[in-house]
Amino acid sequence: MQTHNLIDGAWVGASDGATLRVTNPARDEVIAEVASVGAAETRSAIDAAWRARESWAAKTAGERGGLLSALAGLMRRDTDRLAALMTAEQGKPLAEARGEIAYAASFLSWAAEEGKRLTGDIIPASAPDKRILVLRQPVGVTGIITPWNFPAAMITRKLGPALAAGCTVVIKPAELTPLSALAIGELACEAGIPDGVVNIVTGDAATIGDALFDDDRVRKLSFTGSTRVGQLLMSKASEHLLRLSLELGGHAPFLVFDDADVGKAVAAAVACKFRNAGQTCICANRFYVQDGVYDEFVAGFTEAVSKLTVGDGAHEGVDIGPLINDAAVEKVESHVEDARSHGATVPVGGDRVHPKGLANRFYAPTLVEGMTPDMKLASEETFGPVAPVARFTAEREAIELANASEYGLAAYYFTRDASRLMRVAEALEYGIVGANDGGPSTAQAPFGGVKHSGFGREGGKYAMDEYTEIKYVSWQL
Ligand code: NAP
Catalytic positions are 247, 281
Is the pTM higher than 0.75? Answer: yes
Which CATH class, in words, describes the domain spanning 252-442? alpha beta
Residues of the chain with pLDDT under 70: none
Contact 36/20 with Cβ under 8 angstroms? yes
- Pocket-testing residue among 226, 239, 405, ligand 1, by greatest number of atoms within 8 A of Cβ: 226
Phi then psi dihedrals of residue 327, to 5 deg: -60, -35
Cite the beta strand spans of 384-467 per DSSP E. 386-392, 407-408, 410-414, 432-435, 450-451, 454-455
Mutate to test the pocket of ligand 1, among 214, 281, 450 (most ligand atoms within 8 A of CB): 281
| Beta-carbon count within 10 A of 309 CB | 12
User: For residues 352 and 373, is the Cβ–Cβ distance under 8 A?
Assistant: no
Q: How far apart are CA 140 and CA 109, in angstroms?
A: 21
Domain at 5-248+453-476, CATH class: alpha beta
Give the residues surrounding ligand 1 with Cβ less than 6 Å away: 145-150, 154, 172, 174-176, 205-206, 209, 224-226, 229, 232, 247-250, 281, 381, 409, 449, 453
Q: Say what the pLDDT of residue 226 is.
A: 97
Ligand 1 atom with minimal separation from the 209 CA: 20
User: 43: part of which helix (H) or strand (E)?
Assistant: helix 39-58
Q: How far apart are CA 335 and CA 26, in angstroms?
A: 22
DSSP states along 179-223? HHHHHHHHHHHHHTPPTTTEEE--B-HHHHHHHHHT-TTEEEEEE
Tell me the angle at which helices 94-114 and 79-90 cross, rounded to the nearest 10 degrees: 120
What is the side-by-side order of every strand in the sheet holding 468-476? 121-123, 130-138, 468-476
Alpha carbon 116 to its chain centroid, in Å, reads 25
Query: Are residues 404 and 373 in contact, defined by beta-carbon separation less than 8 angstroms?
Result: yes
Stated length of the chain: 477
Contacts 24+ apart (CB under 8 A), 297-300: 297/256, 297/262, 297/265, 297/266, 297/269, 297/389, 298/347, 298/367, 298/369, 298/389, 300/262, 300/263, 300/266
Domain ranges of the chain: 5-248+453-476, 252-442
- Three-state secondary-structure class, residue 7: strand
Rounded to 5 degrees, φ, ψ at 259 are: -95, 15
Calpha distance 151→139 (Å, rounded)? 24
Helix (H, G, I), strand (E, B) or coil at 17: coil
